[in-house]
């Protein structure tokens, strides 16, 4: 049986956009990566090359995938012709809605529009698109080329065609989708992000060191990396944005970002991508 042809457009050349592009080209799916910032596009090309090398060394990519490349562009008009669009811009509802409005006017009807978000309800974003039934959510974990499970969020207006399209795309990327209902933070962020906030609060209050919090969570509770190393991987700035969304939309006081997280963002110590967060990292993590 012939496999469907996929041509992916990724909007946003930040950490997640570049890593989603890495996952796709590593599995033989051609990608156009679009961003209005030329410097971010240049940095993303370097990041993708490095991540492809690492993913191959770790055996995370198929050996015989077709050789394809990432094309970069500064023009949203180049999204025309995509079979799927993944929006991976910053975790800000207004920005995401603007992008979805613009791209839905460019792509052909029937093209699935995927918002990669950690916390913003999908039906809220779908209202910005010309055809809300084509909008669906994903929450790829970082780094997506190593983590095989993907949270998929079906909004109230997401149609069957969009659901089938994301299953087809994730199948081509050898990822396992888990479909959940729409809600602020969905499942993973609703559970993980307040937990990280609490872990940072424990350090802030002087109960334990960063290292001891992570060691206890790893050794006693089976958390693979520890919550504060995970915060560095997510990006502490992204984590704070997500917590604010959760706090605004749920009223849960446990989602109000603690002072230590806010201090790190103000200092620019936002995790691996800046070289320093709860831990210090060597080399270029951008």
Per-residue pLDDT reduced to its tens digit, 39-97: 999 999 999 999 999 999 999 999 888 888 899 999 999 999 999 999 999 999 999 99
Residue 247 appears among annotated catalytic residues: no
pLDDT at 65: 80
pTM here is 0.91
Checking 61-67 for CB contacts under 8 A at 24+ apart, the result is: 61/26, 61/27, 61/145, 62/26, 62/27, 62/28, 62/174, 65/26, 65/27, 65/28, 66/28, 67/28
Checking if the pLDDT of 284 tops 50, the result is no
Residues 257-284, mean pLDDT to the nearest whole number: 93
Q: Give the end-to-end CA distance of the chain in Å, rounded to a whole number.
A: 41
Residue 147: enclosing H or E segment and its boundaries? none
Domain spans of the chain, in order of start = 8-181, 189-274
The arrangement of secondary structure in 189-274, i.e. its CATH architecture, is Orthogonal Bundle (1.10)
What's the mean pLDDT when you consider all of the chain?
95
Token representation of residue 46:
């370097």
Phi, psi dihedrals of residue 73, rounded to the nearest 5°? -155, 150
The answer to whether 86 touches 120, Cβ cutoff 8 Å, is no
* CATH 3.40.50.300 for the 8-181 domain, yes or no: no
Residue of 139, 167, 193, 223 with catalytic role: 139
The answer to whether 55 touches 178, Cβ cutoff 8 Å, is no
Radius of gyration of the chain (CA): 19
Residues 264-269, mean pLDDT to the nearest whole number: 98
Residue 24 pLDDT level (bands cut at 50, 70, 90) = very high
Distance CA 280, CA 192 (A): 22
pLDDT digits (tens, 9 = 90+) for 95-138: 999 999 999 999 999 999 999 999 999 999 999 999 999 999 99
Q: Could you check whether the bond before residue 143 is cis, i.e. omega within 30 degrees of 0?
A: yes
């Amino acid at each position: 049986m012939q496999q469907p042809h996929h041509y992916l457009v990724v909007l946003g050349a930040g950490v997640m956009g570049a890593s989603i592009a890495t996952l796709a080209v590593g599995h033989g799916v051609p990608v156009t990566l679009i961003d209005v910032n030329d410097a971010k596009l240049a940095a993303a090309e370097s990041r993708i090359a490095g991540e492809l090398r690492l993913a191959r060394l770790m055996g995370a990519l198929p050996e015989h995938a077709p050789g394809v490349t990432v094309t970069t562009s500064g023009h949203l008009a180049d999204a025309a012709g995509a079979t799927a669009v993944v929006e991976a811009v910053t975790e800000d509802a207004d920005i995401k809605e603007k992008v979805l409005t613009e791209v839905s006017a460019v792509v052909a009807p029937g093209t699935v529009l995927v918002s990669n978000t950690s916390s913003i309800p999908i039906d809220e974003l779908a209202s910005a698109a010309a055809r809300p039934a084509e909008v669906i959510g994903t929450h790829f974990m970082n780094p997506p080329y190593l983590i095989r499970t993907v949270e998929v969020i079906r909004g109230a207006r997401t149609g069957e065609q969009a659901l089938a399209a994301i299953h087809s795309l994730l199948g081509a990327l050898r990822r396992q989708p888990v479909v959940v209902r729409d809600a602020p933070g969905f499942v993973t962020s609703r559970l993980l992000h307040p937990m990280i906030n609490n872990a940072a609060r424990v350090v802030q209050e002087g109960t334990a060191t960063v290292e001891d919090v992570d060691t206890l969570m790893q050794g006693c509770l089976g958390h693979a990396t520890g919550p504060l190393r995970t915060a560095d991987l997510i990006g502490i700035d992204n984590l704070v944005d997500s917590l604010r969304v959760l706090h605004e939309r749920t009223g849960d006081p446990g989602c109000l970002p603690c002072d230590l997280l806010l201090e790190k963002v103000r200092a620019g110590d936002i995790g691996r991508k800046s070289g320093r967060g709860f831990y210090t990292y060597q080399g270029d993590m951008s």
